[in-house]
Amino acid sequence: MSKTEEYLQRFMNGVIKRNPGELEFHQAVSEVAGTIFPYIADKPIYHKMQILERMAEPDRVVMFRVPWTDDKGNIRNQRGYRVQFNNSIGPYKGGLRFHPSVNLSVLKFLGFEQTFKNSLTGLPMGGGKGGSDFNPKGKTDNEVMRFCQSFMIELHRHIGEDTDVPAGDIGVGAREIGYLFGQYKRIENRFVGVLTGKGMEFGGSKIRTEATGYGTVYFMQNMLQRNGDSLEGKNVCVSGSGNVATYAVEKVNHLGGKVITLSDSSGFVHDPDGIDADKLAFLIDLKQVRRGRIKEYADEFNSASFHEGRPWGVSCEIALPCATQNEINEEEAKTLINNGCIGVSEGANMPTGLAGIDTFQEARILYAPSKAANAGGVAVSGLEMSQNSARITWKEDELEKLLETTMFNIHQSCVEYGECDGHVDYLAGANIAGFVKVADAMLSFGHT
């Protein structure tokens, strides 16, 4: 075993011992550490100052009880969290997730990843994540509102426009951000940009809704262009049917590709004719207005069929996982490659398991890890913060351009740190480029 492998193993043993049972967190740290240890092998200052060791420990974790009353008058109890991971390069920044699977491990993995992602955007944002095990599915608007208000009664004292700025994630969209912002404003009697993803009437930014999905597709287009290729005419499998998936489909259509799948937690639809603008309008109404199930898409359009499970068995050239973590395992990664997939751009956070990543890397396909590929969302959140601070509103075309440029720059950073003999290791490139800025800031602070 080399010295680097030995250090890496010792480091991971420490992380596992200090965070027992937190499998998603171990996975996220291991993916990063596997590329950072070789990079810092000849840079002893990072070892001496214990930089990665300190980056793998959140600055603080806030956990709290969230009681609320359902429409029948029953008192319900949920658990709320905010993981403030690292504020070396700016205020904590990252989404809130409302989903029954939320636990400390999931939010620590997301907060850890967010620190690197936010660094990659080039904007001054630290990393954080929060949420609750509350399940918005099947709840009335009034129930969701009462939950959000109760959640903010505790959260408000931990956040602030220069301290920690939450946003949306799974289960938290425009409706929830509205309820949360309304309650913050009421408690604090201050109108400030304490949340992003806000409605346009109260300080939201143009393009924020579309930014993550668009950015994921721009990143894919950048990788293809470097190889003299494009999305034009390519079959694309998308998973998920929420915020990220929807606008990924829209951008693939703009760039001449054809999306042939979508999914939710009940299964996937396969539409070989492609999901055009009219079908996408149906999806938006189904998922965002009626909050229905994806099977209804197949009931509506004759060209489409519904299947249980995940979409990765459908033959495609490009895969855009946009649902959730660990939705591509090793076997599915092999199936994608055997069916001719040449590119994966991760709209979701950590959608590919470690063995799946190894499969993509060994096949040397274009594999864009989430912290680079889906950074467009938080980048536009950063621009929303700037607009709120300056009390101005930028135009849609300016923001579209800024998003495209940001994704181009992130791609360039990955190439800078990940290229070897003409081949780009986007995983190493993203991790190292994200690491360097945060690590060097931490070096400046001494022991903090």
- Per-residue x/- track, 308-327, ligand NDP (CB under 6 A): --------------xxx---
Window 95 to 154, contacts with ligand NDP (CB under 6 A):
101
* Residue of 31, 164, 169, 317 interacting with ligand NDP (CB under 6 A): 169
Least CB distance to ligand NDP at residue 297 (A): 12
Rule CB under 6 A: say whether 168 interacts with ligand NDP: yes
Residues that bind ligand 2IT (CB under 6 A): 93-95, 114, 117, 167, 169, 196, 349, 377-378, 381
Query: Closest CB to ligand NDP among 316 and 323?
Result: 323
Query: Closest CB to ligand 2IT among 91 and 418?
Result: 91
Least CB distance to ligand 2IT at residue 229 (A): 27
The entry of ligand NDP, ligand 2IT, none that residue 130 binds, CB within 5 to 8 Å by partner kind: none
Least CB distance to ligand 2IT at residue 346 (A): 11
CA 146 to each of CA 73, 177, 190, 383: distance values in angstroms, whole numbers, following the listed order: 12, 13, 21, 30
The entry of ligand 2IT, ligand NDP, none that residue 94 binds, CB within 5 to 8 Å by partner kind: ligand 2IT
Q: Which residue is nearest to ligand NDP (CB)?
A: 242
* Residue of 86, 105, 119, 212 interacting with ligand NDP (CB under 6 A): 212
CB 100 within 8 Å of CB 133:
yes
3-state secondary structure the chain: CCHHHHHHHHHHHHHHHHCCCCHHHHHHHHHHHHHHHHHHCCCHHHHHCCHHHHHCCCCEEEEEEEEEECCCCCEEEEEEEEEEEECCCCCEEEEEEECCCCCHHHHHHHHHHHHHHHHHCCCCCCEEEEEECCCCCCCCHHHHHHHHHHHHHHHHHHCECCCEEEECECCECHHHHHHHHHHHHHHHCCCCCCCCCCCHHHCCCCCHHHHHHHHHHHHHHHHHHHCCCCCCCCEEEECCCCHHHHHHHHHHHHCCCEEEEEEECCEEEECCCCCCHHHHHHHHHHHHHCCCCCHHHHHHCCCCEEECCCHHHCCCCEEECCCCCCCECHHHHHHHHHCCCCEEECCCCCCECHHHHHHHHHCCCEEECHHHHCHHHHHHHHHHHHHHHHCCCCCHHHHHHHHHHHHHHHHHHHHHHHEECCEECHHHHHHHHHHHHHHHHHHHHCCC
Least CB distance to ligand NDP at residue 257 (A): 19
Q: Report d(CA 411, CA 405) in Å as an integer.
A: 10
Query: Closest CB to ligand NDP among 241 and 359?
Result: 241
The entry of ligand 2IT, ligand NDP, none that residue 90 binds, CB within 5 to 8 Å by partner kind: none
Q: Report d(CA 398, CA 262) in Å as an integer.
A: 30
Q: Is 3 a catalytic residue?
A: no
Rule CB under 6 A: say whether 264 interacts with ligand NDP: yes
The entry of ligand NDP, ligand 2IT, none that residue 241 binds, CB within 5 to 8 Å by partner kind: ligand NDP
Query: Closest CB to ligand 2IT among 304 and 372?
Result: 372
* Residue of 180, 348, 430, 439 interacting with ligand NDP (CB under 6 A): 348
- Count of residues binding ligand NDP (CB under 6 A)? 24
Q: Report d(CA 245, CA 286) in Å as an integer.
A: 14
Catalytic residue among 129, 206, 234, 371: 129
Query: Closest CB to ligand NDP among 80 and 171?
Result: 171
Question: Which range binds ligand NDP by CB under 6 A, 162-170, 182-190, 270-278, 413-421?
Answer: 162-170
Least CB distance to ligand 2IT at residue 97 (A): 8
Query: Closest CB to ligand NDP among 38 and 173?
Result: 173
Query: Closest CB to ligand NDP among 149 and 349?
Result: 349
- The set of catalytic residues is 129
Which residues form the interface with ligand NDP (CB under 6 A)? 101, 168-171, 173, 212, 240-245, 264-266, 322-324, 347-349, 374, 377
